[in-house]
Amino acid sequence: MLNSINNKSIQVVKPASKIILNNIQKFNSNNIHLSTLNSSSINSINCKIPTMLNETSIPSTFNSSSKLLFNRDMSSSIPKILPKNVVIDSEEKIELIKNKKAKMARPFTWEEMKFLVEKNSVEVMVRTPADERVYMNWLKVLKSKYTSINDYIKIIVMGYSETVDEKTGAKTAGKPKFNTEKLIFESDDVYYVIRRNDFPYWLEPNIEHYVLWTSVEFTREHAGKILNEKFPDSDLIYFTNTPDKKSVKGVCHYQIFVRPKETSPITLSGQKLNELKNKNFKLN
């Protein structure tokens, strides 16, 4: 059987021989099922070995169904969409997302966010696909105008002065406290600003995403005091990423998530209703 195909010039990448056995259904010109061959016999064929295996490296002697070669491995690398009713409440589910074996297709809930912070897995939080595309395009523009994202934050958010490179036109942060209009000072060198995140994570509609930018590293207690004063009627989740997870490494900051506190329905007594009527409130 091998003699009948030995004179064929077959392009095979040897490490992929097992993949070929699993995926290519038949040899077109001879109608020979490759499932009858083994790895050693495939390797014994007179081969021309391309540097990469792709559709262009599949010889025309194979049937068009040989494209199935790519289906198995490629499909296994595509993340599965998690059903909307699946709650991120276990480390196993977190690992599926981290390893890109699954991805979210809905906003994160408040409880899921609390769980991710508790498990130090905040990198699992993502933007909507549309917001992520806008963010990536924005980064490209930013890199053409500023030396780095750190310089952008320092100049635009933290009030640093700027210097401009004469050749590239790129802006670099200079001295701090050049523009103090938006800064809140606790002392001459300790100050901060709270801003909405321009590119928030994919969150439920009642959750808002802010960032607390600070001139020096704030403890969690210090940040919490500021945030509770700023948002007294809201539930809060806030954290600072570990250095390896920070997209902006040159400016200290906390990610902040805010939602209205859940309140109990107000029940009016008969006496209270009469008081309201006497004050000319119109009641239905």
**In the β-sheet with 252-260, what is the strand arrangement from edge to edge?**
184-185, 191-196, 208-214, 252-260, 234-239
Which tens digits make up the pLDDT trace of 218-267? Answer: 999 999 999 999 999 999 999 998 888 888 999 999 999 999 997 655 56
If you average pLDDT over residues 124-128, what whole number do you get? 93
C-alpha angle 54-58-63 in degrees, rounded to nearest 5: 130
Question: Which of 76, 100, 129 finishes a domain?
Answer: 76
Question: Which of 76, 99, 132 finishes a domain?
Answer: 76
What pLDDT does 197 receive? 96
Domain assignment present for residue 165? The answer is no
Least confident of 66-75, 86-95, 195-204: 66-75
What pLDDT does 243 receive? 84
Domain assignment present for residue 47? The answer is yes
Quote the number of domains for the chain.
2
Q: Chain-wide mean pLDDT for the chain? A: 77
Domain assignment present for residue 258? The answer is yes
What is the Cα–Cα distance from 202 to 132, expressed in whole angstroms?
10
> Domain limits at 38?
2-76
Which tens digits make up the pLDDT trace of 139-195? Answer: 999 999 999 999 999 999 999 999 999 999 999 999 999 999 999 999 999 999 999
Residue ranges of alpha helices (H) inside 8-80 are 17-23, 39-43, 71-76
Q: Residue 10: is its pLDDT beyond 60?
A: no
Domain assignment present for residue 237? The answer is yes
Q: What percent of the chain has pLDDT over 70?
A: 65
Which residue shows structure tokens 């801003």?
A: 195
Split at pLDDT 50, 70, 90, the class of 101 is confident
Least confident of 103-107, 128-132, 156-160: 103-107
Q: Residue 37: is its pLDDT beyond 60?
A: no
Domain assignment present for residue 184? The answer is yes
Q: Residue 89: is its pLDDT beyond 70?
A: yes
Split at pLDDT 50, 70, 90, the class of 276 is low
Question: Which of 76, 97, 112 finishes a domain?
Answer: 76
Side chain identity at 140, as an amino acid letter? Answer: K
Q: Are 237 and 117 in contact (CB under 8 A)?
A: yes
Q: Residue 2: is its pLDDT beyond 60?
A: no
What pLDDT does 246 receive? 87
